[in-house]
Amino acid sequence: MGDDFNALLTKVAAHLAERDATLDTLPVTPTLEAVHAAVAALPPALPQTGLGTGQTLDYLLSSVLPGCLTAQNGPRYFGFVTGGVTPAAQLADILGSGYDENVQVTLEDTSAATAVEARALEMVLDLLEIPRDTYAGRTVTTGATASNILGLACAREALYAASPHTAPGYSYAASGPPSNMPSPPIVVLGIHPHWSIKKAAALVGLGNGPTVFHSLPADPEDELDIDLPALRGRLVAERAVGRGVILTYGLGEVNTGGFGRRLPEVAELCRQHGAWLHVDAAFGGFAGAVPALRHLVKGMDMADSLTLDGHKWLNVPYDCGLFFTRSAHALPSFLGPSAANTPAYLAAAEATIPSPLTVNIENSRRFRALPLFASLLALGKDGYADIVQRNVAFARRVAAHIAAHPKYELVNRSPAWLVNDVPVPLNIVLFRGAPGTRFDPHGADAHSRLTAAINGTRRVYVSGTQWGGTGAVRLAVSNWRTGEDDFDVVCAVLDEVMA
């Protein structure tokens, strides 16, 4: 206590300003020594007498943060798909913490917060040119995993309610598993699903083992898409025994950034056969922000439920995800309290905007829509289209460089992905060392060694992955800051690690 909050706030602001000015040149990761030093300097236990705010802040700045990821939101962190944070989003996030509003209930005469959230969700649909009434059920979540959980939960409710083995309108949420269902009662089908779909299936009580979760055969001409005749056959067979089907479709495959092209046909089949279509477009959905790339996400408006991430390509801070479903009632029917149990403070607020706690996993929740709203407003449609376009152009430029490099091989190679002869449809480049180099791909751990060598420079950060039975280095571009100079750094690092 007694610390001068104003002075400390100025200190934090100065630190963030300095960081912002140097982020382009900061090493992407801390040294091993810095990480170990930060861990070693952790207090062994809760102090009896606290350090006070000023001393704690000094300790964070001098001891803790130097041992954490120094520039994950910088321009050359190409691991996973992380995005960065736009200036408007960063400032709004600081303000959101300062106000610390608990955005869980719509109180129309008391706070505009849920109206801000609702408008932010509408603006995301505007960005992707999806008519707002396509997805009347919407909420801001903690990320794509939470959105996938909601999607599978909506699917579960809808499939049990429509099952020939249950009474009409049966609710799993209300009554638990019914007794007279085929085993398993619902299967989850997909191709190359993101791992979080399996997590979601386990959490909502569907199961995620081999009897429930089935990989569909790939289209013989497109390894990223589902074989349609096989899907049709499967849907017919499951319907004949009254088993529910959830089809999960990844729009933007996470290893390759590639897209199948048959989502509209898949959606039509699901509709015909009563299957629930959940589209996970966490990062790839934002191809819809760019007219020249929009064909990649054709059918994104045909899902029963849709996942998008805010903290990836929208470049807003962790954590922020988006969930959309067709019906405004799909969520409140099982997440909200039933009328009889509705607490008075909710009953009083029969609002046009549903209270977030009735459509979301959480009850109490931060005002995470504020940075999203601010960033959308600051950049507009053109600003976001520009980020996506520049990131994709950067990835394609790196891919062309690698394809022409005698010591590297591009692994994005499926002819189905070729867009105007560019093998990288979006923002992810997969590559490995060429035969005969230090990282000859026949060595079992070659791609891990190559990933470690690149990351060891601390100037570029990439991830390792497996694709098509081979190990590969994965470089994903999703940060608004990534620019021309960064291309030169990537080229220099690629040469350096091969020398």
Pick one of 96, 321, 336, 425: the residue that binds ligand PLP (CB under 6 A): 321
Q: How far is the CB of 465 from ligand PLP (least distance, A)?
A: 12
Give residue for tokens 């590297």.
408
Q: How far is the CB of 367 from ligand PLP (least distance, A)?
A: 19
Q: CB of 301 within 8 A of CB of 130?
A: yes
Q: CB of 293 within 8 A of CB of 388?
A: yes
Query: Toward ligand PLP, which CB reaches closer, 145 or 208?
Result: 145
How far is it, in rounded angstroms, from Cα 324 to Cα 328?
Answer: 9
> Among 160, 154, 169, which residue's Cα sits nearest to residue 200?
154
Tokens of 334: 């099982």
Q: Does residue 309 touch ligand PLP according to CB under 6 A?
A: yes
How far is it, in rounded angstroms, from Cα 277 to Cα 306?
Answer: 9
Q: How far is the CB of 359 from ligand PLP (least distance, A)?
A: 18
Cβ atoms within 10 Å of 290's Cβ, excluding its own: 17
DSSP state, residue 281 = -
Q: How far is the CB of 433 from ligand PLP (least distance, A)?
A: 26
DSSP string, 45-56: S--SS---HHHH
Q: CB of 405 within 8 A of CB of 494?
A: yes
Q: Does residue 254 touch ligand PLP according to CB under 6 A?
A: yes
Query: Toward ligand PLP, which CB reaches closer, 235 or 473?
Result: 473
Query: Toward ligand PLP, which CB reaches closer, 157 or 280?
Result: 280
Instruction: Please give the residues from 411 up to 430 whose contact with ligand PLP meets the rule CB under 6 A.
Output: none
Q: How far is the CB of 248 from ligand PLP (least distance, A)?
A: 10
Q: Does residue 145 touch ligand PLP according to CB under 6 A?
A: yes
Query: Toward ligand PLP, which CB reaches closer, 198 or 262?
Result: 198
How far is it, in rounded angstroms, from Cα 244 to Cα 266?
Answer: 16
Q: Does residue 283 touch ligand PLP according to CB under 6 A?
A: yes
Q: Which stretch binds ligand PLP (CB under 6 A): 224-232, 246-254, 384-392, 485-493?
A: 246-254
Q: Which stretch binds ligand PLP (CB under 6 A): 83-91, 141-149, 160-168, 432-440?
A: 141-149
Q: Does residue 250 touch ligand PLP according to CB under 6 A?
A: yes
Pick one of 144, 314, 349, 450: the residue that binds ligand PLP (CB under 6 A): 144
Tokens of 409: 């091989």
Q: How far is the CB of 309 from ligand PLP (least distance, A)?
A: 5
Q: How far is the CB of 283 from ligand PLP (least distance, A)?
A: 5
How far is it, in rounded angstroms, from Cα 280 to Cα 307?
Answer: 5
Q: Does residue 486 touch ligand PLP according to CB under 6 A?
A: no
- The three state secondary structure string of 323-373 is EEECCCCCCHHHHCCCHHHCCHHHHCCCCCCCCHHHCCCCCCCCCCHHHHH
How far is it, in rounded angstroms, from Cα 76 to Cα 133?
Answer: 38
Instruction: Please give the residues from 456 up to 475 whose contact with ligand PLP meets the rule CB under 6 A.
Output: none
Instruction: Please give the residues from 194 up to 213 whose contact with ligand PLP meets the rule CB under 6 A.
Output: 194, 196
Q: CB of 266 within 8 A of CB of 189?
A: no
Q: Determine the 3-state secondary structure of 270 from DSSP.
A: helix
Tokens of 475: 């470089």
Q: How far is the CB of 196 from ligand PLP (least distance, A)?
A: 4
Q: Does residue 282 touch ligand PLP according to CB under 6 A?
A: yes
Q: How far is the CB of 194 from ligand PLP (least distance, A)?
A: 3
Tokens of 12: 């934090």
Query: Toward ligand PLP, which CB reaches closer, 475 or 497?
Result: 475
Pick one of 280, 301, 409, 486: the residue that binds ligand PLP (CB under 6 A): 280
Cβ-Cβ contacts under 8 Å for 184 (sequence gap 6 or more): 206, 207, 211, 212, 243
Interface residues with ligand PLP (CB under 6 A) are 81, 143-145, 194, 196, 250, 252, 254, 280, 282-283, 309, 321
